[in-house]
């Protein structure tokens, strides 16, 4: 646990008692704060009370006015579309509002004067690929013998980790919800994977979404910034962080095009990762036979992870070894079965159009299971990859409307995962891929994308067992 510093003897409230909220409450108490908690869910309140926390109804008038800080869980709106009433009351009362990420950076450095090598933090954000990139960095570090912990939006709660030891490295995946509110953001290495429209209601549009993620770089000024430059926002951010073309504090990353100039570049083209520095190639890795990182989108993740590990001092061959031993993450281009020459791939994490596009571009001859709660913008952006689709099997309550947005694609309205998998397995021929890449949220039928992916895997196993 990372005890929270700076609130000893002061009243601090925690709003929202999920994983991050309870973790923050424990760490605040460990640091000497007088903690009160609240959640609209009675079961969550009961759980916190059983751990000895004082429950205070923060929705009551003047309930926040004696607080030194209000700590908010990431799922609770603090600005758009409208602030939660408790947060609005705190803002009116002049009470600082923070989250567990801000508390982590505020508290992490206590006692580091005893170390020969100070611990370091790598923080990763972006629209797509940040979980894979975070897990990949962590895996490469551990495979190289480094002391590393994975936390944040993946792995453990950020305040639940052990205080890092001499030379230890903390790898954090951070969502826009987390970067938007954190009052302190001071990573040693900050990584930007890419940017595409998502969570627009929470950030009042694409500009607000960009601004929320940009805070990771603008607030603390990392020693190194690894920035994907395949979108204009990434190129803009890289330009803002750099003092000039040869400034190697910024490592520019791309998938699909060669980067040139005197700076530090890592890019992937035609299945090969290349590192260039000061106008010269210094390393190259053949990515084509690495099973845990299929497709151009995973090559982009590998470039970002490679660059971050290089910024931490690892050598190219050590990083390559780690890339080759990486098994991939569940629900992200996860190959779950092979039978009769057909591959079955679970990419349930492809909850938006951009991530689904990358999944469709990673494979050929696809029998595509798709559908769910569509997000803003429709499916037009999928058009470049639809030529890879032999047939679509559409699930979800909006299946008919989803299918209408796939002109020229043979689409079958299946509604349920059970029916979609049964028909796709029956139709599939050797050399084809049955791919779950929904391009939509899961909440019309499932509690999470993980539950959707698990259902797909279970249905595939059942269908293959019948044959």
Q: Dmax of the chain from CA atoms?
A: 67
Euclidean distance between CA atoms 306 and 370, whole angstroms: 32
Euclidean distance between CA atoms 274 and 159, whole angstroms: 36
Euclidean distance between CA atoms 204 and 121, whole angstroms: 30
Q: Is 131 annotated as a binding residue?
A: yes
Q: Is 194 annotated as a binding residue?
A: no
Residues 436 and 369: beta-carbon distance below 8 Å: yes
Which run of H or of E encompasses 202?
Answer: helix 200-203
Four-CA torsion 301, 306, 307, 308, nearest 10 degrees:
90
Place of tokens 């607000």: 208
The 3-state DSSP composition of the chain as helix, strand, coil percent (nearest 5) reads: 35, 20, 40
**Phi and psi of 21, rounded to 5°?**
-65, -50
Q: Is 128 annotated as a binding residue?
A: yes
337: β partners:
344
Q: Is 126 annotated as a binding residue?
A: yes
The tokens of 466 are what? 């019948």
Cβ partners under 8 Å of residue 10, min gap 6:
33, 34, 68, 69
Four-CA torsion 371, 369, 386, 406, nearest 10 degrees:
-40
Q: Is 134 annotated as a binding residue?
A: no
R_g of the chain computed on alpha carbons? 23
**Phi and psi of 108, rounded to 5°?**
-65, -35
Using DSSP's 3-state secondary structure scheme, residue 420 falls into helix
State the binding site for ATP. Answer: 126-132
Residues at the binding site are 126-132
């Amino acid at each position: 646990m990372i005890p929270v510093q700076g609130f000893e003897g002061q009243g601090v409230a925690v709003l929202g008692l999920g994983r991050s909220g309870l973790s923050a409450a424990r760490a605040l108490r460990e640091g000497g704060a007088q903690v009160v908690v609240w959640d609209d869910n009675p079961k969550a309140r009961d759980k916190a009370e059983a751990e000895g926390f004082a429950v205070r109804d923060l929705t009551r008038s003047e309930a926040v006015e004696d607080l030194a800080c209000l700590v908010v869980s990431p799922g609770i709106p603090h600005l758009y579309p409208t602030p939660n009433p408790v947060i609005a009351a705190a803002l009116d009362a002049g009470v600082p509002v923070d989250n567990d990420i801000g508390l982590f950076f505020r508290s992490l450095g206590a006692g580091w004067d005893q170390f020969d090598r100070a611990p370091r933090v790598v923080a990763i954000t972006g629209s797509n690929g940040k979980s894979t990139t975070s897990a990949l960095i962590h895996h490469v570090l551990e495979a190289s013998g480094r002391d590393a912990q994975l936390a944040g939006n993946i792995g453990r709660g950020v305040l639940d980790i052990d205080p890092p030891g001499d030379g230890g490295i903390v790898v954090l995946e951070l969502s826009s919800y987390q970067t938007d509110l954190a009052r302190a953001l001071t990573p040693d290495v900050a990584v930007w994977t890419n940017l595409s429209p998502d969570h627009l209601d929470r950030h009042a549009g694409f500009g607000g979404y960009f601004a929320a993620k940009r805070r990771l770089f603008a607030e603390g000024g990392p020693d190194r910034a690894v920035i994907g430059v395949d979108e204009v926002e990434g190129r803009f951010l890289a330009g803002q962080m750099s003092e000039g073309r040869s400034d190697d504090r910024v490592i520019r990353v791309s998938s699909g095009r060669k980067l040139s100039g005197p700076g530090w570049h890592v890019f992937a083209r035609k299945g090969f990762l290349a590192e260039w520095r000061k106008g010269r190639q210094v390393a190259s890795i053949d990515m084509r036979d690495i099973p845990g990182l299929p497709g151009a989108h995973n090559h982009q993740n590998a470039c970002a992870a490679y660059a971050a590990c290089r910024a931490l001092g690892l050598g190219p061959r050590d990083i390559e070894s780690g890339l080759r031993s990486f098994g991939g993450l569940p629900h992200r281009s996860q190959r779950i079965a092979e039978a009769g020459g057909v591959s079955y791939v679970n990419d349930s994490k492809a909850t938006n159009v951009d991530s689904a596009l990358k999944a469709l571009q990673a494979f050929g001859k696809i029998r595509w299971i798709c559908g769910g709660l569509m997000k803003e913008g429709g499916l037009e952006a999928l058009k470049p990859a639809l030529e890879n689709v032999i047939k679509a099997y559409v699930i979800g309550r909006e299946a008919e409307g989803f299918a209408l947005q796939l002109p020229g694609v043979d689409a079958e309205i299946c509604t349920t995962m059970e029916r979609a998998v049964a028909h796709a397995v029956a139709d599939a021929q050797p050399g084809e891929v049955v791919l779950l890449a929904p391009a939509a949220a899961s909440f019309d039928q499932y509690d999470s994308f993980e539950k959707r992916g698990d259902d797909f895997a279970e249905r595939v196993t059942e269908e293959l067992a019948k044959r």
